Amino acid sequence: MVEQTASSNLVAVDVGNSRIKIGIFDRVAGSALTQPVEVFELQIAGRSGRFNATELDLWCNGNVVAGSKWLVGSVHRAAAQQLISTVTNWARRSKFNCPIRLLTYADVPLSIRVDEPARVGIDRLLAAFAANRLRQKDRAAIIVDLGTAITVDLLESDGAFAGGAILPGLAMSAR
C-alpha cells in the first residue's frame, strides 16, 4: 500500500462499471477508517468507458492540491485509462505533481486464498480489506456489494479472502 503523510492528501478513486466515485482524504491515520472531506461522482457511458472529462477537470481545479496522491481501484480498464490520462493532463497544465497508482491485488494487504488472485476484481478485494478492519477477530464475515453487479464474498475467520460469487445487479436482473 502507498503510505501517506499527514501533510499530503489522498485522492481515492473507485472506477466501477457504470460510474466513477472519487473521495479526497486529508490523511490516512493509523487504523482509523476516515471519511472523505470531498466527494465527486461521474457517470460512465457503458463499455466505451467514456465520461465527461471537462467535469473532472473543473472538479480537480477546485478541489485537488499539488502533491495529492491518487490511488485508483478499477474494474473498467477503458474508464480507468481515460481517468489517468485526464488527471495527468490536468496536473501537467496546473504544474502539479500528482502521482497516480492503479491498484492491483498485490497492493491490498490481505491474504488471498484463491487460485488466481489477479483475476479477482480490485473492488471485491478492497471491500474485503475494509470488512477485515471492522469484523470481530476470529470471526468469519460475508461481504455483499450491490452495484452494477452483486458480489458475495467470504472472509475466513483468520481474515483471509476466500472468494465468492458475482451475480447480475438489480437493474440487469430487472431487464
- Pick the catalytic residue: 14, 57, 115, 123? 123
H-helix or E-strand spanning residue 93:
helix 77-94
Specify the residue for cell string 485526464.
86
Specify the residue for cell string 475466513.
156
Burial (CB count <10 Å: 0-12, 13-18, 19+), residue 70: buried
Active site residue 57: no
CA distances (Å), origin 33, targets 60, 89, 107, 131: 24, 31, 18, 11
Residue 69's CB is within 10 A of a number of other CB atoms, namely 20
* Catalytic residue positions, numbered: 123
